[in-house]
Copies of this chain bind each other. A is one copy, B any other.
Amino acid sequence: MSAEPERPRGRGRPRSTEADEAILTAALELFTEGGAGAASMQAIAARAGVGRLTVYRRWSTKEELIAQAIESARADIPDPDSATLAATSLPDLIERVLPGAAETLARPGFRALLAQTLGSTQTHPRIMRAYWDHHIEPRRRVSMALLERARDAGDLPAGTDLEVLVDMMVGAVVYRVLQPRPLDAAEAERFLRAVYTQAGLLKDPAADG
């Protein structure tokens, strides 16, 4: 990661020129429609209406570009800044991101993108590697810190394996989104609530009533 140019991370899309936006959009569309095989640097440049050099000036490999294009698709799930993270309880943070996350999960394009991303781990492993290192891993570290805080505060049992808990929460969402019957936004929100409740991070509404 140290050889990478600095970019703002974990706040949706980086600030970028119009050409960058067009390139990311083209990469996202081509990858979602046809997978990594269809998203060559040449095809991306052509669809974005820019020269190939313009693409290479900003991204040295198509894997890096596709990884950032995947990230751009979740721009409407905002990551809270560190002051908010420090000042807000975990249940409140979850409530804050939940509606936007549910909307994203219900989008057919997101489902298609998720399928192509996971599918590419076999044919083009460097895409998932780049996406993992630049986008998932930093976010995962934030999640781990929040979960440690919750465990230290006694909101999660002391013996909780937090890495496994994260895999169960994220994995449930990934797996549910790819099942044959897609979720609409309301179902996605109920599903997310149920996952966080089962994980012990939201209160069971039945227990309050």
Contacts and interface: CB of A to CB of B under 8 A. Distances in A.
Interface of A: 32, 35, 111-112, 115-116, 118-123, 125, 128-129, 132-133, 159-161, 164-165, 167-176, 178-180, 191, 194-195, 197-199, 204, 206-207
A176 B167 CA distance: 7
Nearest to A199: B168
B116 A180 contact: no
Contacts of A179: 128, 132
Contacts of A199: 168
B172 A164 contact: yes
| Interface SS majority for chain A | helix
Given A164-B172, A170-B175, A175-B175, A180 B132 contact: yes
A161 B197 contact: yes
Contacts of A168: 168-169, 171-172, 195, 198-199
B122 A122 contact: no
A165 B199 CA distance: 9
Contacts of A160: 198
A125 B178 contact: no
